[in-house]
Amino acid sequence: MFEGIVNLPVFLAAALALCVAPGPDTAYILGRTVLQGRRAGVVSVLGVVTGAAVHVLAAGLGLSAFLAASASAFGLVKLAGAAYLVWLGVKTFRERPAAAAEPALVRRTDRQLFAQGVLTDVLNPKVAVFFLAFLPHFIAPEAPHKVACFLLLGGMVLAMGLAWDLSLALASARFVRAVRLRPGLGRWSNRAMGGLLAALGLGLAGEEL
C-alpha cells in the first residue's frame, strides 16, 4: 500500500502540524459555527475538505502530465517545491494572523454553506500549489506509480484535515467563548508554522542537491 512512499513518519508529523495551524479555513469554520451552530459548522467543514480534494486531484493530474513530458521532471518538481516551502515559511513567519470571521455573517442554508466551503478552497490556487510542492518530497524517485502515491498522501492530509476541522467545529459549538482565536495565539502560531515550513523546505532542498 505504501510502496514508493518515503519518510512516512516525517510526513505525518508535518501534515498534522499544517492541519492544526490556524488559517482562513479555521476562521471560516469557527465563524459559521458561532453564528449558526454545530450543524452549520459540520457542513462548512465538509465543503472545505471537498474543495481541498479538488485541488489534490487537480495537482495529481498536473503532476502526471508533467512527468509524461520529461524523465527529469520529478526532480525539478521537488526542487521547485522546496523553494516554494521556504518562501511560504518566511511569508507565514512575517505575516499577521487573520482575524476570526465575524459573527455578523449572513445566515445560510446547508446547501449554501457547503458550496461556500468548497469555494473557499477551490478559488484559492495556493492550496493546489502547496500540495504540488509538499507531497512529491515523500515519494521515491524510483516509485513505479508516483501519481498513485501522490493521491494516497493527499488523501492522508485530507483525512487529517477532516478530523481536525470536525473536532474544532464540534468543540467550538459547545465552548464558543473558549475556542475563539486570540491575536497573540495566532501570531505565535504563524511564527512557529513559518519556521517549520522554512526548515522543512531547506531540509528537502538539501536532500535533492
pLDDT digits (tens, 9 = 90+) for 111-154: 988 988 888 777 766 677 778 778 888 988 888 888 889 999 99
pTM for the full predicted model? 0.69
Q: Is 73 or 144 the better-scoring residue by pLDDT?
A: 144
pLDDT at 191 over 90: no
Q: Which of 112, 110, 122, 113 is nearest to 50 (CA)?
A: 122
Q: Which of 56, 54, 31, 52 is nearest to 41 (CA)?
A: 31
CB 137 within 8 A of CB 24: no
pLDDT at 184 over 80: no
CA 120 from centroid of its chain's CA atoms:
12
Pick from 37-51, 121-135, 153-167: least confident: 121-135
